Homo-oligomer: A and B are copies of this chain.
Amino acid sequence: MKIALAQLNYHIANFESNTKKIIDVIKNCKRDGCDLVVFSEMNVCGYPALDFLEFDDFISRCLDSVQHIAEHCVGIAAIVGGPSRNPILDGKNLFNSAFFVADGEVQHTVHKALLPTYDVFDEYRYFEPAKEFKCFDYKGFKLAITVCEDLWNLEDDPLYTYCPMDELTKEQPHLMINIAASPFNYMHAETRQQILRKNVTKYGVPLIYVNQVGANTDLIFDGGSLVMDSSGKNILKTQYFEEDIKYIVCEKNEASISLQPTHPQSEIALNVFNTEAVQIERIHSSLILGIRDYFAKMGFSKAVFGMSGGIDSALVYYLSVMALGKENILPVMMPSQFSSDGSVSDSQMMINRLGTKSHIIPIKEIFEHYEKTLQPIFNNAPFNVAEENIQARIRGTLLMAISNKQGYILLNTSNKSELAVGYGTLYGDMCGGLAVLGDLYKTKIYELAKYINRNEEIIPNNIIYKAPSAELRPNQKDSDSLPEYDVLDAVLMQYIENRKSIQEIIAMGFDEALVSRILRMVNNNEYKRYQFAPVLRVSPHAFGLGRRMPLVAKYLG
C-alpha cells in the first residue's frame, strides 16, 4: 500500500481554496499510484476555526467539502479532518473528526477523544470527546486512526483520564495514523517527536503522522510530518515551514510491517536536534512564515513600520523584507528632539543595505503643537510620561495615516520583555496589525540578530551594540527604568513560562525587591496587553489568547 503524507497550508474558512487544494493533491497522488492520502486535522476548514464552529452554516459547509472531496476519491482513499455533528442529544453538538473517504463516499468517521483545552486551545468549547474506539481495515491493513492530542496522554501526570490507543491496540492494528494541527514553538518539534516515539514503542506499531503547516494569525504550524517504524526510528520526514508531500510504501510481512519511502532521506533530515542554534534557525523561519501568511491570507502585500535605530525595528525590517520582498517594505524614521544621532543614521545604513524605500518624518513640530494645545490644561506641570507617550502616539498616528492612505499594514515591533513589564505606549509603539517579535524576550532578540548576521553584517553592529533606549526624553536608557535584560528576562521566564511563585523565584537567587517589582509590573500591565495586536507565537507561553489573566485583580500587588 502506497500512502501519501499531505502536509498543506490552509486558509481558515476558505472552503473553495482548501477544497481545490485537497482535490488537486488527491488527483496527483492517484496519478502516482497512491492508495491513500493522509491530510491533517480539521483541514477542510483550517485550524483553528474558533467560534465559526458555532455557526451551523459553517458546519454544513465543512461537511459539503468532505462530500465534494469524497467524490474525487475513486480508486484512491483519503483521510481528511473536519467537524462532524453529534447525533446524540446529550453533550456538545460536534465532534472533531477524521473522515476516511473512499469509493466516492465517507466510509468511516473517527472522533477525537482528548480535547486540548489549555494555552491557545479551546476544543472542549466546541466538541464532545469520543468515548468509543474502533480500528478498520483498508487494503488488508488494520488502521488505528487518531486525531492529534489523542496520542498526547503518556506523560507522568496525564491531562486526561483515558487513552484512545489503549483501546485501539486491543484490535492489534498494523498502522497508527495520526492527523494533527500542532503549532510551533521553539521547543515543540523535539517534544512532539518524543511523544510520538513513546506511543510507537508502547504499542509497537508504526506511525504515520501528518501535521498542518502555515500560519493562521498568531499560530504558526511548522509541519514536520513523519513516519516512524515500530522501533521508533524515523523513516520519513516532511519539510518544516513549507508545504510538502511525501510517499511511503507499506508492506505486510509475516511478523512485521515494512516501510519504504519512495525518496530516501539522509539521517540529518530525518531527526531533530534541539540545540540552541537549531532553535534560533527555527524561530527565524517561523517568523518569516508568520509574516508572509498573515499578509497573503489577509489579502495584503505591503508593510510599514517605525524604524527607530534600535534592534527590534531592525529585526522587523529584515524579517519583513525576507517575507514580503523589499519592494513591499516601508520603514519610516520619525526622529524627535530626543532622538540620538544614530537613530536615523544607523537606520539609514541598514536601509541602504537592504535597498528599500523609506521616509523620514520629524515629529518635533507636531509634538510642540500638542504641548501648546494642552498648556491651558497641564499648567506647566513638569515633563513626564504624559509627554513621552504623546511622542509615541504621534508616531503611531503617522504610521496609521500612511497605512490608511496607501494600503500598508503596520507591523508592530514590541518585544516580549517590554510587553511583559508594560514598557511601551498603548496606542503608540503598541500599534500595529501583527506583533512580529512579541514572543521574543530581548535576550532572544539579540540571539536572532546574531543569527541573521552569521555570514555578513546585515544589521549594523551599531544597532546591535548600542544601549537600548526609547529616546522619549533626554539621554533616556531602558536601564533607567528596567533591570538589565539578562536578569529581567530570567525572572520573566520563571513567572510567565514556568508559572513559578514569587517565593520560588527568589529562592533561585534573585533579589527579593527586584522580583517583587518585576512581577508587579507584569500583573499591573495586563490591561495594555489586553488591547495589543496578535503576537506571532514561538514559545510555549505567548501573550495573547493562550494567556488569560484577569485585569481587575490584586495578585502579588
State the A residues within 8 Å of B (CB).
Answer: 11-14, 17, 46, 48-52, 54-58, 88-93, 117-118, 122, 124-125, 128, 156-162, 215-217, 293-294, 297-298, 359, 361-363, 365-366, 369-370, 372-374, 377-378, 381, 384-387, 389-390, 393-394, 396-398, 400-402, 404-405, 426-427, 431, 433, 499-504, 527, 530-534, 545, 547-555, 557
A412: min CB distance to chain B, Å: 10
By Cβ-Cβ distance, the 7 closest A-B pairs, closest first, are: A57-B501, A13-B555, A386-B404, A386-B405, A12-B553, A14-B554, A393-B397
Contacts of A386 in B (CB 8 A): 401, 404-405
Q: Are A11 and B553 in contact (CB under 8 A)?
A: yes
Q: Are B373 and A365 in contact (CB under 8 A)?
A: yes
Q: Given A158-B89, A530-B533, A533-B531, A13 and B52 touching (CB < 8 A)?
A: no
Q: Are A159 and B92 in contact (CB under 8 A)?
A: yes
Contacts of A387 in B (CB 8 A): 401
Q: Given A56-B501, A550-B48, A374 and B394 touching (CB < 8 A)?
A: no
Q: Are A374 and B398 in contact (CB under 8 A)?
A: yes
Contacts A89-B158, A92-B159, A217-B551 known; 4 new A-B pairs at CB < 8 A: A56-B499, A216-B553, A369-B369, A385-B404
Q: Are B216 and A550 in contact (CB under 8 A)?
A: yes
- Complex Cα spacing A374 to B433, Å: 21
State how many copies of this chain the complex holds.
2
Of all chain B residues, the one with the shortest Cβ separation from A546 is B51
Q: Are B52 and A555 in contact (CB under 8 A)?
A: yes
Of all chain B residues, the one with the shortest Cβ separation from A402 is B377
Contacts of A366 in B (CB 8 A): 366, 369-370, 373
A501, A534, A554: most-surrounded residue (chain B CB, <10 A): A554
Contacts of A13 in B (CB 8 A): 550, 553-555
A77: min CB distance to chain B, Å: 28
Selected A-B contacts with CB under 8 Å, 14 pairs: A12-B555, A46-B553, A57-B500, A125-B548, A366-B366, A370-B398, A370-B401, A374-B402, A377-B405, A378-B401, A384-B404, A384-B405, A387-B401, A393-B400
A183: min CB distance to chain B, Å: 14
Q: Are A58 and B555 in contact (CB under 8 A)?
A: yes
Q: Are A161 and B297 in contact (CB under 8 A)?
A: no
Q: Are B157 and A89 in contact (CB under 8 A)?
A: yes
- Complex Cα spacing A158 to B393, Å: 49
A135: min CB distance to chain B, Å: 24
A10: min CB distance to chain B, Å: 10
Q: Are A160 and B90 in contact (CB under 8 A)?
A: yes
Q: Are B393 and A374 in contact (CB under 8 A)?
A: no
Of all chain B residues, the one with the shortest Cβ separation from A88 is B161
Of all chain B residues, the one with the shortest Cβ separation from A330 is B377
Q: Are B361 and A377 in contact (CB under 8 A)?
A: yes
Contacts of A531 in B (CB 8 A): 531-533
A211: min CB distance to chain B, Å: 18
- Complex Cα spacing A125 to B389, Å: 37
Contacts of A51 in B (CB 8 A): 547-549
Contacts of A394 in B (CB 8 A): 397
Q: Are A554 and B397 in contact (CB under 8 A)?
A: no
A19: min CB distance to chain B, Å: 13
A93: min CB distance to chain B, Å: 7
Which of B89, B215, B361, B554 contacts A374, CB < 8 Å? B361
A376: min CB distance to chain B, Å: 8
Q: Are B427 and A405 in contact (CB under 8 A)?
A: no
Q: Are B499 and A54 in contact (CB under 8 A)?
A: yes
A49: min CB distance to chain B, Å: 6
- Complex Cα spacing A158 to B557, Å: 41
Which of B50, B363, B378, B501 contacts A549, CB < 8 Å? B50
Q: Are A217 and B550 in contact (CB under 8 A)?
A: yes
- Complex Cα spacing A292 to B156, Å: 46
Contacts of A294 in B (CB 8 A): 552
- Complex Cα spacing A363 to B53, Å: 45
- Complex Cα spacing A294 to B500, Å: 28
Q: Are A397 and B397 in contact (CB under 8 A)?
A: yes
Q: Are B389 and A401 in contact (CB under 8 A)?
A: yes
Q: Are A550 and B52 in contact (CB under 8 A)?
A: yes
Q: Are A401 and B397 in contact (CB under 8 A)?
A: no
Q: Are A548 and B545 in contact (CB under 8 A)?
A: yes
A167: min CB distance to chain B, Å: 15
- Complex Cα spacing A369 to B93, Å: 57
- Complex Cα spacing A193 to B359, Å: 62
Contacts of A365 in B (CB 8 A): 369, 372-373
Q: Are A50 and B389 in contact (CB under 8 A)?
A: no
- Complex Cα spacing A157 to B162, Å: 26
Of all chain B residues, the one with the shortest Cβ separation from A405 is B386
Q: Given A117-B125, A377-B361, A396-B393, A534 and B551 touching (CB < 8 A)?
A: yes
- Complex Cα spacing A51 to B293, Å: 30
Contacts of A534 in B (CB 8 A): 530, 551
- Complex Cα spacing A361 to B371, Å: 12
Q: Are B377 and A389 in contact (CB under 8 A)?
A: no
Contacts of A499 in B (CB 8 A): 54-56
Contacts of A162 in B (CB 8 A): 90
Contacts of A431 in B (CB 8 A): 426-427
